[in-house]
């Protein structure tokens, strides 16, 4: 924070002229990018539809109430499927994520090449959305819960392994050193020195991801991978709006419950 | 029993932590290693059991040369050296019992340790040690529920259950209050006497070092600048180790050891310092 | 000193179980086992279908070696650009809308009715995955990137406003009080006491959200929201696996770049 000599004595400013200039320049570039982006998007937009959106929204909105409660009979099974996709997917992911995380953590990896491979697995798993995984897996396994479960699993490996290996790298090293000093083997050092330290993180990450997976598995049905998304897609396509609102309501409640459960469990662990 | 020959350690940053240290610690001698922070005390201790790999020099434990050992042979050699840490270094989320039993990891196989199925004698010995340090009732507590002094006692048990010939003790009192510090030092001393153990104790509290050791070695900038009995520590010696300061008040005299109960340094009861080298 | 001559010590020791009540412990284990069995039962794997699908999976994997960047280059490039710009303006617009909502959703700043209505907005936009938002946006605004932009912006609000509100609620009360004590008005107070405390984290989070928005832009296309997702979906529909593989690799690459950029920026801000 510089003092600048002016004709009427020193003047305090927050930044120097150069800093100020750089900041304005940054804003300029940023604004230009946004304007350019908006220009490109608007070129591909039919503005007539956008102007019409208000009336459309009103129209759909009025058709959505009241939600068709009786449709619930047909929703129990899809909800159960959604829950299973999320839970089993998380279990699969955790089973695979643990060895991947130990291979990826700098202080437990057996070899730099293995570490690089593990990091590659993590990145690819994280970058591809579960819906895209599902799209591919439906091609292989056919439509159904199996494709969805594996999709959720594949997507979650990267997420869980990343958080886990970061936790492994951040452990208190002296505890491991103390175990090492007793003459313990490398495997025993991990078992006694590292595992107890990361176990709570492991549980927390699992529950956290499970919560996210509940949300994600509600949409997998859109590409045929099972769960409540299948009904959602069908109802929208047949313009059955009261069913759509009922499904949205069910999703909302399910997500709220899973969020509550996950918060409770994480609180209990930590 | 333990002999260091020209032990040198240069860290990757280029810092020369040990400049060719020669040192011999005979059987059942409790030796205090004093010196300012950064003098290389911790490095020296860690070079003995190769938690830090020495750059150059030899370490003999009895007849065994440690620096050239394979990983497997090193693990076997480490079982003979118990280590006690600053800040205790207990695995905080394990129970006290598991922490003590972890001292036996060098002796049991992986799956036994996985299922926590330690041999009967080990468990009995663990209970015996816990009883000896007054923590019999704490066995099932988690380590992070204990107070500082209690944790250090668990640390001591973990080192002793290895049945070592040598104790490497790194600043055992650094995070303890003065009273607990004395109790811990006394305990270490008693246990060494009971079992005829040799020990190297890193400590920066000169008074404690004098009270509880038979021999004092002063380290400064990676080199030994004093080696002798505790009662010959003079202000001149301390100035050589730590630099200029008024040392008169620091040096412990027998008459001002003001602890209420028994004040005679345990070390003095065992042996009087036999200065070697 | 205890005077026991030969105290008898136990020779076995068992780790105390995590859940001390045996009934509760066993009912949890049993419950988990029953659930797992039931859930696995719903998987109903059609092995004939899987056997049929595996060669397809093989073909898909083969398509990665090498992926086909050459054919459809124009379409892919267009889709990528559309996704990037969509993500950029959705992030900017979403954050601009999140700031008032986030301030309103902070308990220590806003009056009760503002707090409750802002929290409701946040909860609503957080529950539904971007894809569901996109389905409705497409219904309202027509096919194309504008719908995707709207869906991603709403998703951004749910994410960003929540974190902003939580950050404000957790900030140091002492600093806020000190500025208030100088007699600053509400806007000055927000500017001097709150902004400096939450700003660094918010900058990091906005890059993180840009990263998420880009990833999500790849899926809103599947339901008609424009961007690379639409291109990917077309490639799958036409069985052009080599192009699909190329698109996936490009997505992974861009996500990697964004991740490094956000890590770098976060370090630079703090």
Residue A219 with chain C: CB contacts under 8 Å: 129, 131-132
Domain that holds residue C258: 72-269
**Is residue B84 within 8 Å of residue B100, measured between CB atoms?**
no
Same domain, B69 and B112: no
Residue A215 with chain C: CB contacts under 8 Å: 127, 129
Q: Is C136 within a domain?
A: yes
Q: Is C1 within a domain?
A: no
**Separation of alpha carbons A113 and A127, rounded Å:** 21
Contacts of residue B272, defined as CB under 8 A and 6 or more positions apart, other chains included, come to: B214, B229
Q: Rounded to a whole number, what is the distance in Å from the CA of C7 to chain B's nearest CA? A: 9
Is A183 in Cβ contact with B155 (below 8 Å)? Answer: no
**Separation of alpha carbons C216 and B141, rounded Å:** 47
Same domain, B9 and B145: no
Q: Is B76 within a domain?
A: yes
Is B131 in Cβ contact with C7 (below 8 Å)? Answer: yes
Same domain, B212 and B253: yes
Q: Is C143 within a domain?
A: yes
Residue B79 with chain A: CB contacts under 8 Å: 182-183
Last residue of a domain, one of B108, B136, B163: B163
Q: Please give the pLDDT value at position A139.
A: 82
Q: Is B85 within a domain?
A: no
Is C40 in Cβ contact with A129 (below 8 Å)? Answer: no
Q: Please give the pLDDT value at position C43.
A: 78
Pairwise pLDDT comparison (C46 vs A234), residue with the higher score? A234
In the 8-state DSSP scheme, what is residue C194?
A: I
Last residue of a domain, one of B144, B163, B182: B163
Strand partners, B56: B8
Strand partners, B83: B168
Same domain, B155 and B184: no
**Is residue B167 within 8 Å of residue B198, measured between CB atoms?**
yes
Domain that holds residue B150: 94-163
Q: Is B200 within a domain?
A: yes
Is C236 in Cβ contact with A80 (below 8 Å)? Answer: no
What is the 3-state composition of chain A as percent helix, strand, coil, each rounded to the nearest 5? 80, 5, 15
Domain residue ranges in chain A: 3-48, 71-269
- Find the mean pLDDT for residues A164-193: 93
Same domain, B29 and B98: no
Task: Check which CATH number belongs to the domain holding B239 and give it.
Answer: 3.40.50.300
- Helix/strand/coil (H, E, C) string of A113-133? HHHHHHHHHHHHHHHCCHHHH
Residue B155 with chain A: CB contacts under 8 Å: 178
How buried is A117 (Cβ within 10 angstroms: 0-12 exposed, 13-18 middle, 19+ buried)? middle
Q: Is B216 within a domain?
A: yes
Same domain, B148 and B178: no
Which of B200, A121, A44, B266 lies closest to C149, judged by CA?
A44
Q: Is the pLDDT of residue C229 over 70?
A: yes
Q: Rounded to a whole number, what is the distance in Å from the CA of A227 to chain B's nearest CA? A: 39
- Most confident residue range from A228-237, B257-266, C257-266: A228-237
Is A34 in Cβ contact with C88 (below 8 Å)? Answer: yes
Indicate if ipTM > 0.95.
no
Give the model confidence (pLDDT) of C18-56 as tens digits. 877 888 889 999 999 999 998 888 877 777 777 888 887
C56 lies within 8 A of chain A by CB: yes
Give the model confidence (pLDDT) of C96-122 as tens digits. 999 999 988 888 878 889 999 999 989
Q: How many domains does chain C have?
A: 1
Q: Is B136 within a domain?
A: yes
Q: Hey, which chains touch B, using 3+ CB pairs under 8 Å?
A: A, C
Q: Please give the pLDDT value at position C207.
A: 83
Same domain, B158 and B186: no
Q: Please give the pLDDT value at position B260.
A: 42
Same domain, B55 and B20: yes
Lowest mean pLDDT among A29-38, A47-56, A224-233, A250-259: A47-56
Strand partners, B223: B220
Strand-by-strand arrangement of the B30-34 sheet: B81-84, B166-170, B198-202, B30-34, B215-220, B223-228
Residue C236 with chain A: CB contacts under 8 Å: 135-136, 139
Q: How many domains does chain B have?
A: 2
Which pLDDT tens digits describe chain B residue by residue (277 residues)? 899 999 999 988 888 889 989 999 998 899 999 988 888 899 999 999 999 999 999 999 988 999 999 999 999 999 999 999 988 899 988 999 999 999 999 999 999 999 999 999 999 999 999 999 999 999 999 999 999 899 999 999 999 999 999 999 999 988 889 899 999 999 999 999 999 999 999 998 888 999 899 999 999 888 999 999 988 888 888 888 888 777 777 776 544 444 444 444 444 444 433 333 3
In the 8-state DSSP scheme, what is residue C19?
A: S
Q: Is C7 within a domain?
A: no
Q: Is C16 within a domain?
A: no
Q: Taking all residues of chain C, what is their mean pLDDT, rounded to a whole number?
A: 84
Residue in chain C closest to A124 (alpha carbons) equals C252
Q: Hey, which chains touch A, using 3+ CB pairs under 8 Å?
A: B, C
Same domain, B66 and B195: yes
Tell me how many residue pairs between chain A and chain B have CB atoms under 8 A apart: 81
Residue C39 with chain A: CB contacts under 8 Å: 83-84, 87-88
Q: Please give the pLDDT value at position C264.
A: 81
- Find the mean pLDDT for residues A234-256: 90
Q: Is B36 within a domain?
A: yes
**Separation of alpha carbons B172 and B86, rounded Å:** 5
Q: Which two tokens stand for residue C113?
A: 């009715």
In sequence order, which ranges of C42-181 are alpha helices (DSSP H)? 47-63, 73-104, 112-127, 130-141, 145-170, 173-181
Q: Rounded to a whole number, what is the distance in Å from the CA of B97 to chain C's nearest CA? A: 8
Confidence category of residue A155, pLDDT binned at 50, 70, 90: very high
Residue in chain A closest to B89 (alpha carbons) equals A175
- Helix/strand/coil (H, E, C) string of A92-111? HHHHHHHHHHHHHCCCCCCC
CATH class for the region spanning A71-269: mainly alpha
The shortest CB-CB distance from B89 to any of A177, A183, A191 is to A177
Q: Rounded to a whole number, what is the distance in Å from the CA of B228 to chain C's nearest CA? A: 33
Same domain, B170 and B226: yes
In the 8-state DSSP scheme, what is residue B220?
A: E
Same domain, B59 and B174: yes
Residue B101 with chain C: CB contacts under 8 Å: 13
Last residue of a domain, one of B163, B195, B222: B163
Confidence category of residue A38, pLDDT binned at 50, 70, 90: confident
Same domain, B155 and B168: no
Radius of gyration, CA atoms only, chain C = 27
């Amino acid at each position: 924070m510089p003092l600048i000599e002016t004709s009427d004595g020193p003047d305090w400013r927050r930044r120097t002229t150069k800093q100020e200039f750089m900041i304005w320049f940054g804003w300029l570039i940023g604004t230009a990018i946004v304007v350019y982006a908006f220009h490109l998007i608007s070129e591909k937009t039919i503005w007539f539809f956008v102007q019409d959106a208000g009336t459309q929204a009103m129209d759909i909105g009025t058709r959505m109430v009241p939600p068709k409660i009786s449709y619930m009979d047909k929703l129990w099974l899809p909800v159960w499927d959604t829950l299973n996709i999320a839970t089993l997917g998380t279990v699969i992911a955790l089973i695979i994520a643990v060895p991947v995380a130990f291979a990826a953590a700098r202080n437990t990896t057996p070899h730099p090449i293995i570490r690089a491979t593990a990091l590659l697995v993590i990145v690819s798993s994280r970058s591809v959305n579960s819906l895209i995984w599902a799209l591919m897996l439906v091609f292989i396994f056919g439509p159904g819960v199996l494709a969805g479960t594996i999709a959720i699993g594949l997507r979650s490996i990267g997420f869980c392994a990343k958080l886990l290996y970061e936790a492994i790298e951040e452990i208190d090293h002296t505890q491991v050193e103390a175990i090492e000093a007793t003459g313990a083997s490398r495997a025993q050092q991990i078992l006694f020195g590292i595992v107890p330290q990361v176990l709570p993180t492991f549980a927390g990450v699992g529950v956290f991801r499970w919560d996210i997976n509940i949300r994600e598995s509600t949409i997998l049905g859109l590409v045929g991978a099972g769960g409540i998304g299948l009904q959602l897609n069908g109802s929208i396509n047949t313009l059955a709006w009261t069913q759509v609102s009922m499904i949205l309501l069910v999703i909302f409640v399910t997500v709220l419950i899973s969020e509550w459960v996950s918060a409770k469990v994480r609180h209990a662990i930590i | 029993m333990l002999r260091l020959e020209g032990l040198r350690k240069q860290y990757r940053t280029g810092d020369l932590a040990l400049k060719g240290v020669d040192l011999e610690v005979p059987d059942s001698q409790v030796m205090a290693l004093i010196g300012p922070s950064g003098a290389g005390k911790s490095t020296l201790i860690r070079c003995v059991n190769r938690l830090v790999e020495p750059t150059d020099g030899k370490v003999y434990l009895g007849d065994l040369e440690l620096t050239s050992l394979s990983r497997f042979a090193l693990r076997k050699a480490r079982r003979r050296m118990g280590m006690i840490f600053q800040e205790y270094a207990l695995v905080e989320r394990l129970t006290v019992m598991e922490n003590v039993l972890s001292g036996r990891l060098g002796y049991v196989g992986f799956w036994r340790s996985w299922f926590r199925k330690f041999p009967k004698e080990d468990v009995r010995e663990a209970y015996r040690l816990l009883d000896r340090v007054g923590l019999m009732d704490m066995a099932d507590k988690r380590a992070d529920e204990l107070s500082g002094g209690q944790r250090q006692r668990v640390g001591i048990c973990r080192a002793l259950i290895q049945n070592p010939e040598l104790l490497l003790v790194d600043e055992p009192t650094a995070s303890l209050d003065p009273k607990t510090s004395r109790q811990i030092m006394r305990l270490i001393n008693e246990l060494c006497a009971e079992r005829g153990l040799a020990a190297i104790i890193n400590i920066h509290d000169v008074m404690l070092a004098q009270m509880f050791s038979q021999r004092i070695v002063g380290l400064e900038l990676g080199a030994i600048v004093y080696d002798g009995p505790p009662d010959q520590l003079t202000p001149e010696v301390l100035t050589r180790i730590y630099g200029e300061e008024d040392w008169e008040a620091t040096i412990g005299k027998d008459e001002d050891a003001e602890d209420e109960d028994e004040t005679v340094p345990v070390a003095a009861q065992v042996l009087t310092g036999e200065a070697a080298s | 000193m205890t005077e026991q001559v030969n105290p008898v010590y136990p020779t076995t020791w068992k780790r105390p179980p995590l859940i001390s009540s045996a009934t509760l412990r066993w009912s949890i284990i049993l419950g988990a086992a029953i659930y797992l069995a039931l859930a696995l039962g719903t998987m109903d794997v059609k092995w004939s279908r899987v056997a049929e699908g595996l060669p397809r999976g093989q073909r898909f994997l083969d398509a990665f070696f090498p992926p086909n960047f050459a054919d459809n280059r124009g379409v892919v490039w267009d889709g990528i650009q559309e996704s990037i710009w969509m993500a950029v303006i959705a992030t900017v617009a979403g954050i601009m809308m999140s700031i008032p909502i986030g301030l309103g959703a902070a308990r220590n700043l806003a009056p009760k009715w503002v707090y409750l209505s802002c929290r409701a907005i946040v909860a609503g936009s957080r529950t539904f995955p971007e894809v569901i938002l996109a389905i409705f946006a497409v219904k309202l605004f027509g096919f194309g990137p504008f719908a995707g932009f709207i869906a991603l912006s709403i998703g951004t609000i749910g994410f960003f406003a929540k974190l902003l509100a939580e950050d404000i609620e957790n900030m140091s009360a002492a600093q806020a009080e000190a500025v208030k004590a100088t007699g600053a008005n509400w806007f000055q107070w927000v500017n001097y006491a709150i902004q400096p405390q939450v700003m660094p984290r918010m900058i990091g989070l906005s890059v993180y959200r840009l990263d998420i928005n880009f990833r999500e832009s790849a899926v809103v296309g599947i339901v008609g929201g424009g961007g690379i997702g639409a291109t990917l979906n077309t490639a799958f529909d036409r069985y052009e696996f080599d192009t699909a593989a190329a698109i996936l690799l490009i997505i992974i690459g861009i996500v990697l770049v964004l991740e490094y950029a956000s890590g770098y920026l976060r370090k630079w801000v703090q």
